[in-house]
Amino acid sequence: MKDIELNEKSTGLICSASLREETGIKDSKLNKEETQESLFAEMRRLSPKVTGGIMRAREATYADGKVAGKYKLLTALAISVAIRCEPCIKAYVEMAKEAGVTQDELIEFLNVAMTMQGCPGEEWAIKAYGAWKEITNGTGLSTHGDSCCGSHGH
């Protein structure tokens, strides 16, 4: 797996997209990238210890260690499916693909998420598989910058 690098721009874009989704702010009302960057920059300035700590924790967490980083990303994906965080799902699918995860590995972890969540888990696992297909086929948009989860991108 490649070393995971964090940067403020991708972290800010990703976190603020989740905030936009939660608050209902529409992209048509705001310049998406400028607003996201400025919100993250402002939050980073107001809370540098916490936001920086989160970035460092993510970088350390998803690095290769006794457990390969790709399996840590797949675990985070399964949790994202279970908690139904669509921006997180897309970000972790993209990072898993970049880390060399195979479709068979992805399906096994999605099976865990479905087992833990039952029918709703199945629906969200299907969303994750759809994201996998889009990324694999090159038809999906990059999520680096679209959710808080993508902040530990490669």
Q: For 9-13, 29-33, 66-70, 73-77, which range has the lowest pLDDT when averaged over its residues? A: 9-13
Burial class (CB in 10 A: 0-12, 13-18, 19+), 53: exposed
pLDDT band at 17 (very low <50, low <70, confident <90, very high): very low
Residue 112 has pLDDT above 70, yes or no: yes
Enter the pTM of the model. 0.62
pLDDT band at 143 (very low <50, low <70, confident <90, very high): low
pLDDT band at 134 (very low <50, low <70, confident <90, very high): very high
The string of DSSP codes covering 101-154 is --HHHHHHHHHHHHHHHHHHHHHHHHHHHHHHHHHHHT-SPP-TTTSGGGGG--
* Contact partners, residue 21, CB within 8 Å, separation at least 6: 86, 87
Q: For tokens 């702010």, what's the residue?
A: 25
Architecture of domain 64-143 in this structure: Up-down Bundle (1.20)
Amino acid at 67: V
Question: Any idea of the CA torsion for 21, 26, 27, 29, to the nearest 10 degrees?
Answer: -150
Residue 20 has pLDDT above 90, yes or no: no
Structure tokens, 114: 């479905």
Q: 147, 152, 149, 153: which is closest to 13 by C-alpha?
A: 147
* Dist. CA 74–CA 86, nearest whole Å: 15
